[in-house]
Amino acid sequence: MSTSTATEGTFTQKIQRFYDESSRLWERTWGEHMHHGYYGISGRHRKNRRQAQIDLIEELLRWSQVSAADTILDVGCGIGGSTLYLADKYQAKAVGITLSPVQAERASERAAEQGIALHAFEDFADADASAVQFQVTDALATPFPDNSFDFIWSMESGEHMPDKQGFLQECYRQLKPGGTFLMATWCHREVDNLAGPLTNDEKLHLDRLYQLYHLPYVISLGDYGDIAANVGFTHLAMADWSQQVEFFWQDVVNSALDPKVIAGIFQAGTETIRGTAAIALMTTGFSRGLIRYGLLRGSK
Ligand SMILES: C[S@@+](CC[C@H](N)C(=O)[O-])C[C@H]1O[C@@H](n2cnc3c(N)ncnc32)[C@H](O)[C@@H]1O
């Protein structure tokens, strides 16, 4: 399943550059959460976009069945939107990892702005309330010891991982026995049904998206389930929430029509301009059933 190649270093740098360049604009325009929103089970509830993003976090937590956590790893943390939310909600110690130094720095600033202490992971035991650490670390090879976290959260970062098996293996390694892993990620449709393998046109659609968002490739939720089981996760559950989140892209399009946002996109640079073009691919990808929003939870 791994597609690790000699170009991986370059690929990692591309992801880093993409988020280094675009994160400030994203925060200014869309806030601290760099993920879809939740528009009700039917996907038809209309609400404030930021509220929809917070609702997605809450709905995912409900689905994860995690009611308490002391130590949390946020894999692909962006500017710490979820990390700080979870640290505060559970009064937990949380580490956020990202490939982007700009994001790690901004996430640390945001922790200070919210009065959440910054603590090195090694000193978490000394923190008496919630505490966080943000660092630039590749999720495929982290410095954290085995069995470090009782909740591992990956919100829309799995699609960036060039080695899906390595990614889930690393999450499993770091999870404490009895802990929960929760992933929400972009997938393509299932292929082991009457719809059959991806058509050439569908492959072309995905290839364009990969280029624009710096994704190595995506897989189906069923494939993630197989990998998770092979890696050792137990109590596996999966769900497809495409319908619940799909409206997000319409919300993004509406806000991107603001002249200030358009100016910001052009100021941010070429990577961001290219990223904007991907919005149409996401919208049509969802409507033709090709792009799916997958959830997976597992225990150790
Ligand atoms: C779409 S953003 C999601 C950010 C955050 N989870 C949120 O919901 O606000 C994807 C994040 O995944 C991170 N990422 C991608 N590949 C990664 C890797 N190999 N290791 C660590 N982080 C990675 C990016 O740096 C970015 O922060």
Which ligand 1 atom is the nearest neighbour of the CA of 162?
19
pTM across the whole model: 0.94
Q: pLDDT of 148-201, one tens digit each?
A: 999 999 999 999 999 999 999 999 999 999 999 999 999 999 999 999 999 999
Confidence of residue 295 (pLDDT cuts 50, 70, 90): very high
Distance (angstroms) between ligand 1 centre and the Cα of 74 equals: 9
Q: pLDDT of 220-264, one tens digit each?
A: 999 999 999 999 999 999 999 999 999 998 888 887 777 777 777
HEC profile of 116-161 = CEECCHHHHHHCCCCEEEEEECCCCCCCCCCCCEEEEEEECCHHHC
- Helix, strand or coil, per DSSP, at residue 292: strand
3, part of any domain: no
The pair of structure tokens assigned to 43 is 């996907």
For ligand 1, pick from 35, 157, 210, 248 the residue to mutate: most ligand atoms within 8 Å of CB. Answer: 157
Domain count, the chain: 1
Which ligand 1 atom is the nearest neighbour of the CA of 155?
6
Its domain, for residue 198, covers 8-299
Residues with CB under 6 A from ligand 1: 15, 19, 33-35, 76-78, 81-82, 97-100, 103, 138-140, 155-157, 160-161
Look at residue 57 and tell me whether its pLDDT is greater than 70.
Answer: yes
58, part of any domain: yes
End-to-end CA distance of the chain: 22
Whole-angstrom distance, CA of residue 256 vs CA of residue 249: 10
For ligand 1, pick from 4, 12, 15 the residue to mutate: most ligand atoms within 8 Å of CB. Answer: 15
Cα angle, residue 233 at apex, residues 232 and 238 outer, rounded to 5°: 140
Q: What is the domain-level CATH number for residue 198?
A: 3.40.50.150
The pair of structure tokens assigned to 128 is 């008496």
2, part of any domain: no
Q: What angle, rounded to 10 degrees, do the helices at 248-256 and 8-30 form?
A: 70
Distance (angstroms) between ligand 1 centre and the Cα of 30 equals: 16
203's CB contacts (< 8 A; 6+ apart) are: none
